Amino acid sequence: MTTIPITKRGAEQLKAELHRLKTVDRPAVITAIAEARAQGDLSENAEYDAAKDRQGFIEGRIRELEGKLAAAQVIDPAALNAGGKVVFGATVELEDEATGNAVRYQIVGEDEADLKLGLINISSPIARALIGKEEGDTAEVQAPGGVKRYEIVGVSYQ
């Protein structure tokens, strides 16, 4: 089985979602099915159909999360000592060489990526271009508008 890298924070978020699904959502949908079943004829009962669909979604998501957590390789960025190199979990400060705009990204697993929060997926083009580089290096990223060049201004592990 292949492992999936995930930060400590990302693993905690997945565990919290799994706990909520098992302790809140699953019992609620079971109650909704029982109530819909009590209304009689199931062949024309929209509430029953909706509750069964919701139950299927919840059970599928539970299986998906359990699989991801079983395959997860949890990495704590604060415990990393990569000697200034960009690695999974590192926070990287970049400067666009063309515009001078500064951006800050943390390289994370696919389930925790959120560009608005500055969390980029390890398999994204920019993350792949940054991995292995150090402060002062230049990374070239193939973007839809052409090649973009970023200077690595800082690398931290937090």
Give residue-wise pLDDT tens across range 16-34.
999 999 999 999 999 999 9
Name the residue with tokens 């990569």: 82
Give pLDDT, residue 12.
94
Q: Which helix (H) or strand (E) holds 99?
A: none
Q: How confident is residue 152, by pLDDT bands cut at 50, 70 and 90?
A: very high
Q: How confident is residue 1, by pLDDT bands cut at 50, 70 and 90?
A: low
CA distance 140 to 112: 24
Structural domains for the chain: 4-75 (1.10.287.180), 77-156 (3.10.50.30)
Task: Report percent pLDDT > 90 for the chain.
Answer: 64
Q: Which helix (H) or strand (E) holds 128?
A: helix 125-130
Give pLDDT, residue 45.
80
CA distance 107 to 139: 15
Task: Report percent pLDDT > 70 for the chain.
Answer: 99
Give pLDDT, residue 126.
92
**pLDDT tens digits, residue range 50-92?**
999 999 999 999 999 999 999 999 988 888 777 888 999 999 9
CA distance 106 to 127: 9
CA distance 33 to 126: 46
Q: Which residue has the higher pLDDT, 45 or 123?
A: 123
Q: Which amino acid is it at 154?
A: G
Is the pLDDT assigned to residue 107 strictly greater than 60? Answer: yes
Most confident of 1-15, 54-68, 95-109: 54-68
